[in-house]
Chain A
Amino acid sequence: MAARSYNLRVYPGFRAVTLLCLFVLYAPLVVVTIYSFNASQSITNWEGVSLRWYADVFTGPESEKFKLAARNSFVIALIAASVATTIATLAATAIIRGGRFRLRTWSFGLISLPLMVPEIVTAVATLIFFNAIGFDRGLLTILLAHIAFCIPFAYLPISARMQGIEASYEQAAQDLYATRRQAFTRVLLPLMMPGIISGFILAFIVSLDDFIITNFVKGAGVETLPTAIFGAVKQGIKPNIMAISTMLLGVSVVMVALSWLISRRDNTK
């Protein structure tokens, strides 16, 4: 092979763009973190360092509500993303690996439908629909609605990934007397993992951040973090929301750091 003076995988400037991308993503969060320590009510005017908003989150009059809202949000996001990812993985297998069939294009259209309808329409329509069939609103209605609109967000990365995997792998497995199920679970699924994880993460953050639909389909007394935060705007945005956000960030950063360290130790053994 001819010797090249450069690495084919590396394109100049891509690292710089990535760092720029991270900078854009994180710069506003630095503001969030700083102002969560503000001594004043304000989220724009700095008046010195204080932990009062963290105290407020744990002991303030609204602390119970925010805690419950955070728990609801995470439970819903976790379940909705898992179910949506499972449904999307199966559907992608049928659409990408199921040959040509009449329903294929329509299936793709149906899966993309939640993306195409503005959220407020889905929200009002779903509420009317749940009422029409006599379904009581509560956590379950939020969960069902979230599963439905998370499916396309999980589906697209998964199908993109699957299109890049050669069918010869599974065919080879089947030639070696693996059943179709074994070819799927032992060959295709492991190869699919980066796509599945990407889909799961997208579904998770979509569910976690949804306000409009949740606001309409939730039942009495059920809050999620976004509905609590948007509701609080009546009194103006207070730094306690900044403190909650900072703690969420902290938790996620610690979790990621830990899992990375653990995986590194496993690898070096």
Chain B
Amino acid sequence: MAGGGTAGGGPRTDTYAPVRLWLLLPAWVSLTILVLAPVSMMLVYSFLTKEFRGGVIWEFSLSAYDQFFCNRGLFGDEPCSIEWTYLLIFWRSIWQAGAATLLSLAIGFPTAYFIATRPARQRALWVFLITIPYWVNLLIRTVSMKFLLRDQGPLNDALLGLGILSEPLSIVNTNLAVQLGLFYSYLPFMVLPIYAAVERYNFSLSEAAADLYAPRWVILRRIVIPAVKPGIVAGCILVFVPSLGSFLAPDLLGGAKTFMIGSLIEEQFKGNAGNWPFGAAASMILLTMVLILLLIFARQQARAGNG
């Protein structure tokens, strides 16, 4: 699948094999120093003893992971039973991020496809049209979105005025609002990678399929989508993964009555709790989960690409 993309690619994709380590060097150096080193430090922190009100004491402790998986009652003195609180928070965030990703894909794919099939001159213009709103700060965008969606807001006024609804839609402070917040935060991250892939799509493949009497929606599903799959996958990663840790827009629209993973972790570093090892442990659990997913995907892709 992904490796060769459109037909005629041939199996050899090792043009730059002799210099590949040099090409990777800048990424390795910058990411090792600026991301891997700090994150490794957090891994260490997750096994240390918490210092009250933030910080760590350099003494080995598993209490952060114990807190995550073990329910010891309100006063922390009961025997360990399974702690569902944090698993529930994780599950809910995964579900919300997944729903937001599907929503972004449903809107983002047709948009990206439409843009990529415009005349060459117009494409850049469309790409900018999609991204210009993101020059405005997320907080301001989201507050305005909330203003539009509220029960007595312009959207409901318009729908009621046109007679489409008989009662106002309550969107703000619902699960749907959380997904809309995530969707709105990350839409271009879905559209642009798909656009970059579709723009490269060779339409003679569709022609050939049509000549064999394939209906157009079958062509889309069986020919176009597999050919641009790398773009779709990239878009889904770029929406799903950051959505997992995001909380500002979803909290603002969704009412923040329940923690998202992001707000739970934020609370450990910036809230009253001040429990750095627990925040670090929760991040490491999240990281492990996503990393496993991504590595499985990358291996599959590598195998399919060169197999």
Q: Which residues of A pack against B, CB within 8 Å?
A: 1-2, 4, 6, 8-11, 13-15, 17-18, 20-22, 24-29, 31-32, 35, 43-44, 86-88, 90-91, 93-101, 103-105, 107-122, 124-126, 128-129, 144-145, 147-149, 151-153, 156-161, 163-168, 170-171, 174, 180, 183-184, 191, 194-195, 197-199, 201-202, 205, 208-209, 211-212, 225-226, 229-230, 233, 237, 241-242, 245, 248-249, 252-253, 256, 259-260, 263-264, 267
Contacts and interface: CB of A to CB of B under 8 A. Distances in A.
Contact of B15 (A6, A170, A248): A170
Given A25-B130, A198-B195, A225 B137 contact: yes
Contact of B136 (A29, A117, A152): A29
Contact of A118 (B206, B219, B283): B283
B170 to A, nearest CB: 18
Contacts of B262: 118-120
A95 B186 CA distance: 25
Nearest to B126: A18
Interface of B: 2-6, 8-10, 12-21, 23-24, 26-28, 30-32, 34-39, 41-42, 107-108, 110-111, 113-115, 117, 121, 123-125, 127-145, 147-148, 154-155, 184, 187-189, 191-197, 199-201, 203, 206-207, 210-211, 216-217, 219-220, 227-228, 230-231, 233-235, 237-238, 241-242, 245, 248, 261-262, 265-266, 269-270, 276, 279-280, 283, 286-287, 290-291, 294-295, 298-299, 302, 305-306
A253 B118 CA distance: 20
A230 B188 contact: no
A20 B27 contact: no
Nearest to A105: B298
Contact of A32 (B121, B140, B200, B294): B140
B124 A260 contact: yes
Nearest to B37: A129
Main secondary structure, interface of B, reads helix
A16 to B, nearest CB: 8
Nearest to B201: A164
B189 A202 contact: yes
Nearest to A228: B137
Given A14-B110, A114-B31, A157 B24 contact: no
13 contacts: A6-B216, A14-B114, A32-B136, A93-B16, A94-B19, A100-B302, A115-B241, A126-B38, A129-B41, A152-B238, A156-B237, A202-B188, A245-B136
Contacts of A199: 192
A108 B193 contact: no
B215 to A, nearest CB: 11
Contacts of A267: 121
Given A252-B132, A267-B121, A100 B306 contact: yes
Given A118-B245, A156-B238, A109 B39 contact: no
Contact of A91 (B17, B24, B37): B24
Contact of A125 (B16, B42, B130): B42
